[in-house]
Every structure is written in structure tokens, then in C-alpha cells.
Amino acid sequence: MEATVSYSKVALAIITISCGLLCLIAYPTMACPLTDRNVLLDFKADLADEDKRLSSWHGLNCCTWSGVGCNFGTGHVSLLDLNGYNLEGDIHSSLFELAELEHLDLSDNYFQGNITPHIGMLKKLSFLALSDAGDANEFYVSLESLSNLVSLEYLVLDGLNISVGKESAEAVGSLRNLQELSMSGCGLSGPIPNSLVKLTSLLHLDLSRNSLLAQIPAWFENVTAHLLSLDLSDNYNLGGDISFIGQQISPSLTRIILSRTAVEGEIPSAIGNVSSLESLHLFNTRIEGKIPLSIANLSKLFSLDLSHNNLRGSIPPSLGSLSSLSYLDLSYNQFNGAIPRTISDLVSLKHLWLDSNGLSGSISLSLLDNLTRLEYLFLSNNHLTVSSDSPWIPQFRNLQALRLSSCNLDRIPPFLVTQYGMIELDLSANRIATDIPSWIWDLTSLYYLNLSCNQLTGSLPSSLTSMTLMYLDLHNNSLEGPLPLPPDAHLLDLSGNQFNGSIPADTGAYLSNSWYLSLSRNNLSGAIPDSICTPELQVLDLSSNMLSNMIPPHLIRKCSSLNVLDLAENHLEGKMPAEWGNLKEINTLKLAGNKLRGLLPSSLSKCHTLQVLDLGNNKLQGTIPHWIGKLSQLHVLVLRSNHFHGSVPRQVIDLSNLQILDLSHNRLSGPIPSNLTNLLAMVNESQSNPNHLEKYTLDGAIYTNKIVMSWKGGDGEFVKVLFILKCIDLSNNNLSGNIPLKMGSLKGLIVLNLSRNHLSGPIPKTLGDMDQLESLDLSINRLNGKIPLELQLLTYLEFLNLSYNMLDGKVPHGGQFLTFGESSYLGNPKLSEIPFTNTTVCNNSSGYDNCTSIETIGVENSDAEMKGWAIGLGLSYSLGFSIVIGILCFNNRIRKRVFNLYDDAVLAVDRCITGNK
């Protein structure tokens, strides 16, 4: 959006070019001096001229050559404009002997080497443009060599590699006549050069896309006092108080571009005095506070972008007086209140972006009727109720993108039938409970269609042949009938509907460019066609259908880019295909909940990138192979409920990233490996980087990892917690021997389930070191001895089951033991003094009130985190969660409340989470 060409440059180019033409026309026979001609021919001789742009450079009269202009008084060459000629090679240093040269433009070429200090001989040069004159690695200019060009008024060096020490950046200070200085993307670092203050004639300053840092200095006001345009954007570490734009700023300033810098503070109300202002771009900075009312005085304002900041308050109705405004972007702030009705007065508006704020109230789209130029309208993720009146046909006919996600819409706006140019339509997360009108499929420019998370019904045309759709997201609706397949979808998410029938055998023909395909949670049956895998595909999710038959043996061969393959919860049978080794990039493989049999194919051992391997609830057999230890990236290994026998391979404990190990419900025997300290992720109390574990996001589409696990004595499906949960479940096997002492070193473990084995010996005291443990199940073993008092230290323990062992002695009476009932100890006839469980304990002396307030914090947090999930901040979620844990006191009732909330949140993830609370 930011104009890259500054007006003055264009103007000057026009003036000089037309002057050059005039000279040529007026004095067609004027001959250039022989010396100038020879200099130009030498220059040409060193260059490769692929496009033959210098083909006119022959003969005597160099003044008629392409790109060359002569001074009509002296007859000498005064202008050389080779912008975009694609010349390649070194610049012959004799070029700088053209002493009468006033205008030199070598931009957009492929020059190499240095500009020699000889350039300083061009004492009359007033215009020098070298933007992208050569590749940054191959062509260098030192600012010092330019410092003698005392007549220079325009200096444009965008994209050149000026590898500056401080001194050379200061060199521009000697160019006292400079009116325009543009050094965008020049690799400048350090603070804004002091010498700029000496450039008292400067009108246009562009230092964008550098690595400038520190604060904008106080003296900078002396520079802005006479500027017409200022661009410091994309200097991420350049800070300072935004109020500098209010102090001594020139009322003639037309552009202020400070986007993606670290400027902070509130927009000063003095901005209203900058009466010529046309563009104000402050997106993605650190500014906060309200929009000053004085902004309504900026009658020439054309483009206002304040998005991605911390601005709050309401949108001032007086904004409606900005009749020149074409671009208004206030998205991703904290604005609240209603959208002012005066928005309808912004008759020049093309882009209106108000999404992701806290705006509320009802708005009818017909309010925008007079915005005849409207092209982009984004209102998503506020608290708005947007309606669209049925007979209304808007005056605008060129809408290209409409985003109304989470806007409480109850229908697809009927006026869209008039907008044939629509490219992007997002109506997700509303409450639209109708059929999809067939005219949608006639919007032949539509590229992105997201109607997910509504209650849409009916079936779709099975072939969407006329569509340009590359992104089709209809997940979580109530659509039915056969699968609709657009001919060239890059992303297709039809999950969570009731589509039925089989997946067509020729599906692959529709998916040649697909990278995301999810058909999960439908009623699809029949076999998986092996054409479904295409070389580009990164996510293939067919889970939770009724697909049957074998996994096609060659499925994987065609799917070499696959990151996620999820075929879980179907009726697949037969053996796992032999050739998994082709999946060089896979990180999630889930085949759980099928009827697969046979051994684990050894080719799996080559999938070194695998992070999640879930093969639970099948009929796999044999031993757990040693090569499992080679899958060093594994975070989740679930082989529960199969027929594996033999021992737990020692190599499992080499998996230093492992967070979830579930080998329960098999026929494993022998001891638990004793040296567990290599399970670093479990030793470590902190949470891991969620990485691709939680979910896999591809351009807006999200594949969510879920997993079925036992926790607190019951089975649950866990979503979005994989990187918080650290769990070992070896229950329901035939394991024997002692519980290893080293188990206690797994200080990050939250769930430990060793129940229903043949474990013997005492409960190790070291288990008291497992600070994070919430659920401990050692029931139905042959454990003996006393319950170690150290277990009282497990302050987060919420579920304990020691029943049906051979324990003796007293049950401890401290810590969480006060909260467990008799059922925790059943079947241990020698145990005595089971504590009463009706006690409410809170360690805090002031107690209950504090706990109540903690409860509230828990609620708020979980709410905020829900929003966090929706916008993909998995990490902030984990932080928020640990805060909740961290402040819990020992009151079980409160703990339960918070945890239930948390569990609800976990279960809620399958519903559509939106920005709405």
C-alpha cells in the first residue's frame, strides 16, 4: 500500500525527460563533443547489453543516443538516464569525466564492482539515482565517495549495499543542497545519522527497510520541521516517542510512514495541524491510547493505517469528515463501542478494515450503500451483529474481499449475488443455518471461500467445475450428500460435516496442487483411493469416518511431502504398508482406532522427522522394535491397546523429546527400563515449544492433534494439550519387577499409570520428587511396604489409586492425602488409618476468599486463552495455564473447579472457537 515512488522523483524525471526531448527536437543537429562521445563508447564497451538498449549508441552525434541528453548551452552531455536498461558489467571510471553531467540515473541494472571515488568529479551533478543498480553482493557504493558532489539535490540509493561504518553514514551531511534522500533497504545500522540535521533543504527522507535502532533523537524535530515526506518504516528496533510528529512538524508534510518500528506513546493531537497530510501509516508499532479527535481536520487524508497496535477507545464519529479517505485500517487494536454511522460519509473509501477489535452493536451493511468504490470490507472478530437486508442492491459493484467472521450473521448476505468480482469471502463462525445458495458457485473469480463453523445444510453440486476456488473451507457445518470436489483446490477442508458415500476413485485428479485435505469427521465409507496422495500434499486427514479395506500399499509412494497423515478412527484393516520410509518430512502419523494387524514395518524407522506416532487401538503384534529409539524427534508415542508382547525396549528411554508414552493394554512383560534420566522432556518441568505438535497450521487451515488417554481414572480425548501433558501409561500389561527409583527424576510428569501389572517391591520414596504429578495410578499390582510419607509433597496430586496391592502401615495424613477417599486404598487389607475426606483445606490463612478470587482468575484466564487458541497463540496458552497452576492453593474444591474449566476448554476445542466471548 505504501507508495514506493516519491512524487518528486516522478516529477523530476518527467521534467528532465521532456527537457531532453525538447533539446533533441529543437536542436536535432547539435553534435556532442568528441570527448564525451568517446567516454560513452568506452562505457558501453565494458558492458553486456542483452536487451540491445544501447543499439542507438553509434555515429557521431551522441546527443541523439538513447538515454543521453545534452545541455543546449554548452553542448556537453548533461543527462544520462539508463534506468532499467538491464546492463551488466563494470562501470568504466572515465564515465565520471563527463564533467557537465547534471542527471545520472543508473537504477535497475546489473552493474558490478565499485563506484570509484572519481564520481566526486561530477561537480554539477544534481540528480543521482543508483537504486538496485547492481546486486547487493556485487556492486558497492561508499557514501564518502559521494560526499564531494556538492550540487546534489536528489540522491536515491534504494536497495544498494552501503556497508557503512558510522563515519560513512555521516558523509551525507556534506551534501548541503540535498532535497531528497532515499536510502531504503541499504543495510544501514546504528542510530539515525546525526548529519541529517545539517540537511536544511531536505524535503523527502526515506530510510525505510534498514536496521536503524535506538531512539529517534530530539534534534530530529529540526529535520521534520521542513520535510514533505518521511518514511522510517521497517526499522524494527527504531524506538522513540511518537509525539515527535506533533512538535515542530511542517504543516506541508504529506506522508508519515513509521510502520513496523518500535515507536511508542500516544498519537499527539497536534497531528491535526499537519493539514497537508495524505498518508499516515503507523501499523505494527507500539503506540497506544486513543485516536485524537483532531485527526478529523486532516481533510486531505487518503490513507490511514493504524492497525496492529494497542489503540483503544471508540472510533471518533468525526472521522466521517475525511472525505478523501480511501484506505482505513484500524484492525487488530482494542477499539470498542459501535461503528459510527458517519462511516457512510466516507464516500472515497475503498478499503475498510476494522477486524479484530472489541467493536459492538448492530450494523446493517446497507449503511455502506454510498461507498461506491468499496473493494475490501473486513469486520471479523469483533462483537458485532451484522445484518444484510434482503432487497438491498448496493451502489458498489466491485467488492473484492469480504470478511465477516464471527459477526452473528444469520444468512449469506443476498447482495453478494451482485458482486461478480469477489475474490475472497469469509463468513466463518456465524450462525447461518440455511443451504448454500447456488449463485455462490457462479462467482467465477472466487479464490477463497470460508463458510466454516456455521450450521449450513443441504448438499453441494458434486462437480464445481467452473470454479477458480483454490481455498475452500466448509468445516464444521451440517452439509451432506456426496463430496464436492473443486477442480484445483490447494486447500480443501470439508471436515465435521455429514458428507457420505465413498471418496471418488479419481479424487487425485482434483488435487494435483493440493497441500491440505481434510475430510475428517464425516460419514464416508468404502476404500481410500490410492490416487488421493499427490506430490504437493502436506496434510491428509481422513480420520473419524467409516473407511474400510486396506491402506493402499502405494499410498505413501506418491505422498513424499506429507507432514501429517491421519487415518485414525476408521475401519481400516490388513497390514500397515511396507514403504513408510518415503515420508521424509512426516511429523504426525496416526492410524489409531482401526483394525490393522501385523508387525510395525521397519521402514518406519527411516521417518526421522516423526514427532507424533499414534497407532493405538489396533491389532498390531510382535515386539516393540529397537529402532523406535532412532526416532529421536518423537514427542508422542502411543501403541496402546494392541497385541504387542516382549519387553519394553530399552531404546524407548533414549527418546529425549518424548512427552507422552502410552504402551498400555498390551501383553508386555519384563521390567520397566530403569535408567529413565534420558527422557529429558519428562525430566524437565518446563513445557516444550509446541512446534507442530499441537496443531499444524497451513495458511489459515489448522490440523489439530488429538489423543485418547487415561487421566484421573477415566479415558478422555485430549486436544491442544499435547505439549502440556507429560505422561507415562504402561498399565494393563504383564510388567514385573520393581518400580525404578529413577522414576522420581521425571519431575515434569503429570500422569503416571502403572496399574494392572505384576509390579512388586515398595513404592519408591523418590516418587515424592515428581512435583507436577496430578494423577498416580499404581493399582492392581503386588506392591508392598508402606506408603512413603514423601508422597505428601505431591501438592498437585488430584487422583491417587493404590488399591489392590499388598501395602501396609498408615496412610499419610498430610497434603493431598486429606482429599482422597477410601476407593484409593481398597484391597490393601493391612493398610490402616484412612483419613476422612470431608475436609476443606486451604493453606492460605485468609483462605477462602483468596481461593475464590483465584477461581475467578482461572476463569478469566481460560477465556483469554480460548481466544489465544483461536488466533493460534499456542505458547501464550501454555504460559497462561502454568500461571493458573502456579497460583492454586491446596483447596481441592477450587482446584477441581479450575481443572474442570480447563477440561471443558480442552473439550471445547472441537467446537468453533471464535473471537466472540
Ligand X SMILES: *[C@@H]1O[C@H](CO)[C@@H](O)[C@H](O)[C@H]1NC(C)=O
Residues that bind ligand X (CB under 6 A): 136-137, 140, 161, 163, 187, 197, 219, 222, 269-270, 273, 344, 367, 369-370, 675, 677-678, 838, 844, 846, 849-850, 853
Radius of gyration of the chain (CA): 35
Minimum CB separation from ligand X for residue 378, in Å? 20
Residue 248 or 498 with smaller CB distance to ligand X: 248
Residue 324 or 691 with smaller CB distance to ligand X: 324
Question: Would you give the DSSP letter of residue 617?
Answer: S
Residue 20 or 159 with smaller CB distance to ligand X: 159
Pairing of strands 261-266, 660-662: unpaired
3-state DSSP assignment of residue 848: helix
- Asked if residue 305 lies in contact with residue 284, where contact means CB atoms within 8 angstroms, the answer is no
Query: C-alpha grid cell for residue 48?
Result: 553486456
Residue 224 or 704 with smaller CB distance to ligand X: 224
Residue 227 and residue 877: Cα distance in Å, rounded? Answer: 45
DSSP 323-345: TT--EEE--SSEEEEPPPGGGGG
- Asked if residue 191 lies in contact with residue 170, where contact means CB atoms within 8 angstroms, the answer is no
Residue 475 and residue 451: Cα distance in Å, rounded? Answer: 8
Say how many residues make up the chain. 917
Minimum CB separation from ligand X for residue 200, in Å? 9
Residue 540 or 739 with smaller CB distance to ligand X: 739
Residue 384 or 453 with smaller CB distance to ligand X: 384
Minimum CB separation from ligand X for residue 273, in Å? 4
Minimum CB separation from ligand X for residue 369, in Å? 5
Residue 54 or 298 with smaller CB distance to ligand X: 298
**To which residue does cell 488435487 refer?**
511
DSSP 123-147: TT--EEE-TTSS-TTTEE--HHHHT
Minimum CB separation from ligand X for residue 475, in Å? 35
Minimum CB separation from ligand X for residue 539, in Å? 35
Residue 160 or 429 with smaller CB distance to ligand X: 160
Residue 208 or 476 with smaller CB distance to ligand X: 208
Residue 882 and residue 796: Cα distance in Å, rounded? Answer: 12
Based on the number of CB atoms within 10 Å of its own CB, is 586 exposed (0-12), middle (13-18) or buried (19 or more)? buried
- Asked if residue 515 lies in contact with residue 698, where contact means CB atoms within 8 angstroms, the answer is yes
Residue 891 and residue 887: Cα distance in Å, rounded? Answer: 11
Cα separation values, 739 from 381, 440, 808, Å: 51, 63, 17
Minimum CB separation from ligand X for residue 26, in Å? 44
Minimum CB separation from ligand X for residue 175, in Å? 17
Residue 20 or 394 with smaller CB distance to ligand X: 394
E-assigned strand segments in 465-605: 471-473, 480-481, 491-493, 498-502, 516-518, 523-526, 539-541, 546-550, 564-566, 571-575, 588-590, 595-598
Residue 808 and residue 823: Cα distance in Å, rounded? Answer: 16
Minimum CB separation from ligand X for residue 125, in Å? 24
Residue 342 or 603 with smaller CB distance to ligand X: 342
CA–CA–CA angle 122, 123, 124 (5° rounding)? 95
Of 508, 504, 449, 455, residue with least CA distance to 480: 455
Residue 757 and residue 663: Cα distance in Å, rounded? Answer: 12
- Asked if residue 314 lies in contact with residue 291, where contact means CB atoms within 8 angstroms, the answer is no
Minimum CB separation from ligand X for residue 696, in Å? 32
Residue 466 or 844 with smaller CB distance to ligand X: 844
3-state DSSP assignment of residue 275: coil
Minimum CB separation from ligand X for residue 168, in Å? 11
Residue 617 or 892 with smaller CB distance to ligand X: 892
Minimum CB separation from ligand X for residue 674, in Å? 7
3-state DSSP assignment of residue 622: strand
Minimum CB separation from ligand X for residue 136, in Å? 4
Of 763, 761, 733, 727, residue with least CA distance to 746: 727
Q: H-helix or E-strand containing 649? A: none
Residue 734 or 844 with smaller CB distance to ligand X: 844
Residue 689 or 853 with smaller CB distance to ligand X: 853
DSSP 69-101: EE-TTT-SEEEEE-TT--EEEEPPGGGGG-TT-
Minimum CB separation from ligand X for residue 162, in Å? 8
With a CB cutoff of 8 Å and minimum separation 6, the contacts of 751 are 709, 710, 711, 725, 726, 727, 728, 729, 773, 774, 775
Minimum CB separation from ligand X for residue 839, in Å? 9
**To which residue does cell 543495510 refer?**
187
Minimum CB separation from ligand X for residue 381, in Å? 25
Of 451, 435, 444, residue with least CA distance to 465: 444
Which ranges constitute the DSSP H helices of 250-389? none
With a CB cutoff of 8 Å and minimum separation 6, the contacts of 333 are 306, 307, 308, 309, 310, 311, 312, 356, 357
Residue 90 or 903 with smaller CB distance to ligand X: 90
Minimum CB separation from ligand X for residue 840, in Å? 8
Residue 145 and residue 182: Cα distance in Å, rounded? Answer: 17
Residue 137 or 390 with smaller CB distance to ligand X: 137
Task: Tell me how far apart the terminal alpha carbons of the chain are, to the nearest angstrom.
Answer: 33
With a CB cutoff of 8 Å and minimum separation 6, the contacts of 15 are none
Give φ, ψ of 914 to 5 degrees. -130, 180
Residue 24 or 680 with smaller CB distance to ligand X: 680
Minimum CB separation from ligand X for residue 194, in Å? 8
